[in-house]
Amino acid sequence: MLSLTRRALEEFDNSHDFERMAADILNALGYEDVEPMAPSGGGDAGTDIKYTDAESPAIAFVTVNKNIKSKFASDLQRVKNQKVAALSLFCTVIVTPAQKLDFSRIAAADVGATLTVYDLERIRSLLDTSLKDIRRRYLHIDDDVSTAIRAKVKTILRYPEAAALETGTMSMFEKMFKDLIPAKLFSALREYDPETLRTVPEVGVVLETISGTYYAFKGIARRLLETMTRRIGANVGVRIAQAWRIYAEYCFLRLSGEPRESLERGPDLLNYGITWDDAERVATLLKSDAEISQQLQELGKTHEALLRHVDELRTTLARQGA
């Protein structure tokens, strides 16, 4: 059976990312003080990663070079004068048992260190079993988590009306937008941390962007409601908080472009003795309020950005045949 992990490792040609992946593997395996020497480029004096193995100093060689015998010999020569108890070799080729034995003898003779080889097949086994999160992050191959995330997202995009929405944490203005797909996506994604979202193959960046942008959108909506409510409370005679929210709903719709006539023809918004004329008077006052205008504009632009990200997500999934 074709192994996607094996093929991805064979084709891996980014030495800096491979070094980062090797460091993450060492951390995941329980080694301590793992320190990549030059993951962004530059000289590393032959030492790709330093770490501690059973409280003893250790070094990892990390390479995507296919000529593993020559590369190992070259790296070993560069650390001959360093005090090190253990060595690791990370590579993207198969190292035969005979080669491993030969490399180990050379490491013991030249440096006095033990050697552990993480070749193509050993790394594949780790990534396909206990280290699937690292596989997802560097090789962009789905695991159970990313598969679950994709399934949730696909369901929301295909059947938006059927998708559940937890409204208990939503502010009034959030609920008033006609397109609630961004809210439904945020509700489904908020249980995952940004790093998990970011590493979902193909769509991770846009998922993380939607989650972060919607979080900002929530804050803007909350601040706008607070600002409006304060202004309304200072300009109306009724002293009931629920009445102020009715004014706020009317003003939000009016300032968002809804004609007064259509609101009067629709479901009755008003209560507590509020008249259409007085609601319109307050909307006119708030329209000239610079702070409210700025917050309302920011809210609208943020929601437009969310819709663009949703379109990008939909296009990417469609391109994949999802």
CATH code (residue 71): 3.40.1350
Domain count, the chain: 2
Please check the confidence at residue 1 and state whether its pLDDT lies above 50: no
Same domain assignment for residues 181 and 276:
yes
pTM exceeding the 0.75 threshold for the entire prediction? no
The pLDDT of residue 30: 96
> pLDDT per residue over 121-168, tens digit each?
999 999 999 998 899 889 988 778 888 999 999 999 999 998 888 888
Structure tokens that stand for 301 in this block = 């632009």
> pLDDT per residue over 173-229, tens digit each?
999 999 999 999 999 999 898 988 988 888 999 999 999 999 999 999 999 999 999
Per the structure, the complete domain to which residue 110 belongs is given by: 4-139
First and final C-alpha spacing in the chain: 23
Same domain assignment for residues 149 and 135:
no
Please check the confidence at residue 57 and state whether its pLDDT lies above 70: yes
Same domain assignment for residues 157 and 289:
yes
Same domain assignment for residues 286 and 158:
yes
Same domain assignment for residues 255 and 170:
yes
| Among 97, 122, 139, residue at a domain's last position | 139
Same domain assignment for residues 162 and 269:
yes
45 and 22 Cβ atoms separated by less than 8 Å: no
Same domain assignment for residues 200 and 283:
yes
Same domain assignment for residues 97 and 229:
no
Same domain assignment for residues 155 and 246:
yes
Same domain assignment for residues 134 and 151:
no
Same domain assignment for residues 241 and 218:
yes
Structure tokens that stand for 225 in this block = 């409601």
| Among 139, 170, 185, residue at a domain's last position | 139
| Among 139, 164, 182, residue at a domain's last position | 139
> pLDDT per residue over 278-302, tens digit each?
999 999 999 999 999 999 999 999 9
Same domain assignment for residues 89 and 202:
no
